[in-house]
Amino acid sequence: MKRLYIFLLMLIVAGAVNAERVKVRLFSNNRVELIYVSFDLGLYDLLANDTMMLESMLGEGMSVEIKPTVSGTVSVSVNGYDYGSYRNVVLRATDTACIMCLNPKGIKQRTYEGNLVVSAFDKSNLKVINDVDFETYLAGVVQSEIYGKQSDIFRIQAIISRTWALRNMKKHKADGYNFCDYVHCQAYQNRCVRPDIMLGTMQSSGETIVDAEGNLIDTPFHSNSGGETANSEDVWRSARPYLRSVQDTFSYRMRQSEWTKVIPRDKWLGYFSKTHKLNIQDTNVRNTLLTFAQPHRQAKIMGVQLTRVRTDFGLKSTFFTVTTDPKNGDVVLNGHGYGHGVGLSQEGTIRMVGLGISYDSIIRHYYSGAQIHHDDNVSEQYVQNFVTEISKIIEEDNANPGRKKSKKDDWLGKLFRVRDRMDREEEFDPEKQEMESDWKIEW
């Protein structure tokens, strides 16, 4: 029986939750007054009001312009030909290996897979939604959220991002989509263009993080813990047994390990006086504010939540000590880490992977008592076949640095020629897999 349960790129997700496709609002932190869409690979159909076919087989060399109207609809044109105004416009991919290029006015270009649905927020702002396979979305998240080279780095990020997404699938239900593309949900700034990132994401297929009862956990992460993670209740006032403060020496000596901020003394003291009503004329209060130290993470300074201080002063973290510059009396904050500090430290993870620590041990280090759940519905053989093919692409690229590729040679296209071959066969045949002439795929 052919494996028809394969989804867009990653083939299978955690089957127990049936997360096949998701809707992600793109450019969610911007106003989109106008967007041009062109096509890098594959063909698209142009529809209006969800089902009305305007034009078919749009591809390379064609451009679609979409903009809002004063009546709350969107107008659409193709290569200068005006098709009129509609409630929404849909660009629907006709195959799995399709890539579109989005160029909103005044915003950096991005590329995505899947479908695009565009409607109007108001007369000068578009709502742009990517209707895409869940695992393809995850690969884009991993690329947007973490840096590194080893595949286990990306595997770990994929597992925690998958777990978070499955727990928060209805976060923007009232808005008509699942997630936004900003840090309010998870960053999703482009399609995944790196085979090494896709390799790690593929290796994580079907893996999520659960508690002792088998329930999906919250999986917050941050850039760098500064040497010690935070208890969840010290940041969000909600205690989780798996989000406990742990020592994290792996986060030392990384990009975001240390930071410094200088604040005028009067501004620092005045803030606690005016905003939090502390009596800075009291010697003990003043001295504490000017000599505050955290041998271990604390939640408050003189009863004031450090999360509030971080927000009001734009600090990288709440993990800092306070000293005074002897020359001018300025307050100097010597800080550690970057982010809220709860859960997984990404730079700590990068260091641990580099030291050869296993991906599951790293996850258990940051999420106390948690376990990795492997979905039994995921075919290990099928996943391994794709891991093998991605590894071959990486090896080929490494052996030919700087080689210019055509769009047809894009690794996504290569993978889907492999997938199409596998779809037509009862069993995977690695020897036939190597014979491109035997695939009979037209491009």
Cβ contacts of 144-150, under 8 Å, gap ≥ 24: 144/186, 144/187, 144/188, 144/189, 144/190, 145/186, 145/187, 145/221, 145/346, 146/346, 146/349, 146/350, 147/350, 148/350, 148/353, 149/196, 150/200, 150/353, 150/354
DSSP track, 342-404: BSEEHHHHHHHHHTT--HHHHHHHHSTT-EEEE-TTS-HHHHHHHHHHHHHHHHHHHHSTT--
| Residues composing the chain | 443
Quote the CA–CA distance of 227 and 299 in Å, as a whole number: 16
Q: Which of 335, 332, 334, 362 is nearest to 348 (CA)?
A: 362
Beta strands in 198-342 (DSSP E): 207-210, 221-222, 258-263, 300-301, 304-305, 320-324, 331-336
Residue 389: the pLDDT is 80
Residue 388: the pLDDT is 85
Residue 416: the pLDDT is 54
β-strand pairing of 344-345 with 221-222: parallel
Mean pLDDT by 10 residues, the chain (443 residues): 32 44 96 96 94 95 96 96 97 88 96 96 94 93 93 96 96 95 93 89 94 95 97 94 97 96 98 97 96 96 97 97 95 97 97 97 97 88 81 84 66 55 45 39 29
**3-class state of residue 76 by DSSP:** strand
**3-class state of residue 194 by DSSP:** coil
Entry pTM: 0.85
Q: Which of 347, 372, 350, 378 is nearest to 217 (CA)?
A: 372
**3-class state of residue 233 by DSSP:** helix
The Cβ-side half-sphere exposure at 296, using a 13 Å CA radius, reads 6
Residue 405: the pLDDT is 64
